[in-house]
Structure 1
Amino acid sequence: MKKRFKLHAIVGSLLVIGFVSGCSVKSKLQGINVEVKNNLDFNRKEVVSIQRSNLSELLKKTSEKDIRVKIQDSKEYLRTQWIDNDNDGKGDELLFEVDIKAKSVINYAIVSDTVKVPESKITTYSRFVPERIDDYAWENNKVAFRTYGPVAQQLVEEHKEGGTLSSGIDLWFKKVDYSIIDSWYKKNVASPGYYHIEHGEGYDPYHVGASRGTGGTGIWENDSLQVAKNYTSYKTIATGPLRTVFELTYAPWSSYGVHETKRISLDLNSNFSKFEISFRSDKKIPNYTLGITLHEKKGEVNINKVKGWFRHWEAIDDSFVGEGIVLNPGIIDTAFANDSNKSDQSNLLILTNPENKLTYYAGFAWTGSRQVSDVTDWDEMLNKQAEIIANPLQIIIK
């Protein structure tokens, strides 16, 4: 018999969400067979997750480090990654990447072997950055992001130079597929402002300030947005080759006393960071709001409430960038472009009504990277992201 279940997916991110039909997983010592089915009419390259419990029989006879994954009847093993979510020394889920055509099925084998799988410079990565005060930065082969910590906040509040007071999400425009975080920060120490200048790999021209950047949160009330200050603590859970995962915790904020933790992950080949927000409040909140900065209000906004995606398209220097947020349309209350005369307060705002937890995807594409050429390409990418969320890959363990 076969155990069928679905995964919650983004481009490069999947989590188990429910079973189609149930029975005990059958596995043989030589391996476990996994069927992956794409029901959508476009090709998908995504990271899938198999829970440890589904590999228990195989793990009785072999160790985590000897688990291998390949397409059935192939001799080449795929890159894999274990994620230890609770830091107990054991992997909780096994990741591997699938590249599956529209309306098709691929069968994979999970086996035990000691053959070394080739490594690659193409990876995901995140870390705390003490050499730039206390940024936290993350990236994959397509995009890079950062946000700001308590020391950066303290510098601003003490009227000292170099600080940043913001819970917004910053974007780094990269045009190379290898990791740039360590290199750019190192060169910025030697030459302050280095990463704000294009040197051939991309650069950081994106201004966040007190805005929401791309994916920052808040509470909208009385024509005003209440927001958190900088994160107060971080925890790195996993880095590359297929997924980086970390958590940021914030001090209570707003008149409602919101306690907020953001679990953020980014998968290989995805333009979107996944945000899983857990929060509680001293009083019931009227909404939970997501935002994208409108900068000088010269860009184009597109609000697609039916499909659950929201975008901004703007010129920065001599190129263009598309920013976007995608989420379940069922939890959206309203969305609008807030035009403010105050600096950094003009944002595209999406008001939601979640129950103490919220998942959304925030990301971007820069024309300088040649991932998109115009706003039509970016809208198509957002459309596909929304379809992937609504139609996760189907996984059958045999």
Structure 2
Amino acid sequence: MLSRCSAVDAQTFADQYWGRRPLLSSAVDLPRDFSDLLSPGAVDELIAERGIRAPFIRLARDGEVLAKDCYLGAAGFGAEIGDQVDSAKVLAELAAGATVVLQGLHRLWPPLIDFIRDAVDDLGHPAQANAYITPPDSRGFDPHYDVHDVFVLQVSGQKRWVVHEPVHTHPLPSQPWTRHRAAIDERVQTDPVIDTVLNAGDALYLPRGWLHAAQALDTTSIHLTVGVSATTALDVARTVLDELSTVETFRRSLPMGIAAADQDETLATVTKVMAEVVTALRDNAATLSTGAAVRLSDRYAGLTRPVAVRPLAALSAAADAEVDVCWRRGLVAGLDRSEGRVVLRLPDRTITFPASCAEALYALHRGEVVRAAALPGLDPADGAVLVRRLLKEAVVVPAAAR
């Protein structure tokens, strides 16, 4: 993914740009296009034929998000759902200068499903994809910042982008741009860091917090925005503190009346608890770190999705002892040996296996492609039984579907 979105190599991007400063990558320097990910024809297909529903679509014009009834309607007999897109209404709003935003395309459009899976693997952070379709000489949104990093990929047409330095660096999801309207209005009166026109094939990386505004020129502009929800040190700290819930001391009630105490008394209580936290972190560092790592892994698993399984293909493969299988890409899991068993810990459940399955499970977890009848450490019959269960549990998939 990075090789398509960045004019520099992955290591340079990680060291010099990630979370630090914008990067403009011109298709002139590194010829590319993004029409395989989305195209004008694909946009029409999504709007006209794919039954898109809110919140997978929204419209905006001149900084204002439009009411849903401007572009949604009933779907008719056999699909009595009132929040599907009305393509005729969308046409009318586009003609009037509205920007169409197709959201969550990594869940809807096959090329972007694969592309975002690659992005998550490359970046190690959750990612998603939206498309912005803006008619000529129009803009959808006022100058603002995002609370996630973005890669802007110009698909077709042209769009002018004006980028200014942050007024609030590294904003969290709880710190939206609307809290800093006055500072943003003042900052955008200064000289921009970037003022450029993106043409088809150009890409722009913006770390969260960088101010930006964009306007289509004399043709309809389509661009993709790959949003990346970066894990922060604060996220790690929160998982560590959450792990203190396993320590009885921190589950006890504070003295009666503490919420109504004067400021000095409240400060004394806060200072005392902070000292206890520091002591607990020091004395139980190994245990708390292990638990926090599990929580952080679960958090990541909750924000990402492994590749989808094809149920009928999986059931068919489960009956074939000669099928080649591999780990389901993107499935977060842990393997441990415990009391003569092998424990597979998934985000939503735990599965145990006989110790004899350990070698086969670890081989699959490493990403090896293995034939059901030739799993290491198991005879063909036992290997077929293990693969059958793993297929039905959506842990492995037929290798061709990886």
TM-score for both structures, normalised by structure 1: 0.20
* Structure in which a larger fraction of residues adopt helix: 2
* Structure in which a larger fraction of residues adopt strand: 1
Asked which structure has the greater CA Rg, the reply is 2
If asked which structure has higher relative contact order (CA below 8 Å, sep 6+), I would say: 1
